[in-house]
Chain A
Amino acid sequence: DAGVIQSPRHEVTEMGQEVTLRCKPISGHDYLFWYRQTMMRGLELLIYFNNNVPIDDSGMPEDRFSAKMPNASFSTLKIQPSEPRDSAVYFCASSDSGTGNEKLFFGSGTQLSVL
């Protein structure tokens, strides 16, 4: 398996623009997580899905952030409008609940810079 695939690797945009981050989880995994990493706050869980259904979005910072998972192999995280404070690395991770523990497999991340 190719692992968790995220795109783009880097995104530079101007304040006010819409940004869409993409994730393809590992085939067969039923959980998908979106994390944000900054120097100040470390890794923050934004939202996660189980079997394509959003379970907990309490970590989403504002209404400007939204996430979807239209099928088991694809998820998006959208920021509209983007702001400079959204600059961070965004990680997608997936896991298989059938193992009994939450071994998360992470993608390589999207480095977002909002100017």
Chain B
Amino acid sequence: GEDVEQSLFLSVREGDSSVINCTYTDSSSTYLYWYKQEPGAGLQLLTYIFSNMDMKQDQRLTVLLNKKDKHLSLRIADTQTGDSAIYFCADQRGGADGLTFGKGTHLIIQP
């Protein structure tokens, strides 16, 4: 199976909260990241969390980490049309360089 897994699509109404989920398999992961990719653009770092934390909040973004279950989530409060993008979860493994990415979740905003 894949090392980092995400659902491919999520559809939410404008103004609602979006919750994008991710699971990973490597217990040595030190940092976990969320990236955003808009059409025709590269990946942009949104936020990241150290593996010994369980929550991080940054304005409309909340990251929750359950290290026991190897589950990471990104909550976007008050979702706007500008949040429409692909969101990638990635982990940094202990002793390794670079990041391992999930396949990305397409966030679709309904008016």
Contacts and interface: CB of A to CB of B under 8 A. Distances in A.
Interface of A: 4, 31, 33, 42-43, 45, 48, 50, 55-56, 91, 93, 101-109
B63 to A, nearest CB: 14
Contacts of B97: 31, 48, 50, 55-56, 102
> What does DSSP make chain A's interface, helix, strand, loop or mixed?
strand
**Which of B31, B43, B44 lies at the interface centre, i.e. has the most chain A CB atoms within 10 A of its CB?**
B43
A45 B93 CA distance: 14
Nearest to A50: B97
Interface size band for B:
20 to 34
A50 B43 CA distance: 21
B44 A106 contact: yes
17 contacts: A4-B42, A33-B98, A42-B101, A43-B101, A43-B104, A48-B97, A50-B97, A56-B97, A56-B98, A91-B42, A102-B97, A102-B98, A102-B99, A103-B33, A104-B99, A106-B44, A109-B41
A109 B41 CA distance: 7
Interface in B12-34: 30-31, 33
Interface string B77-111: 00000000000100010000111111110000000
Given A42-B104, A101-B30, A101-B92, A107 B42 contact: yes
Interface of B: 30-31, 33, 35, 40-45, 48, 50, 88, 92, 97-104
Contact of A109 (B30, B42, B98): B42
Nearest to B6: A42
Nearest to B93: A102
Nearest to A3: B42
Contact of A106 (B30, B42, B100): B42
B98 A108 contact: no
**Which of B35, B41, B42, B44 lies at the interface centre, i.e. has the most chain A CB atoms within 10 A of its CB?**
B42
A91 B88 CA distance: 15
Nearest to B99: A102
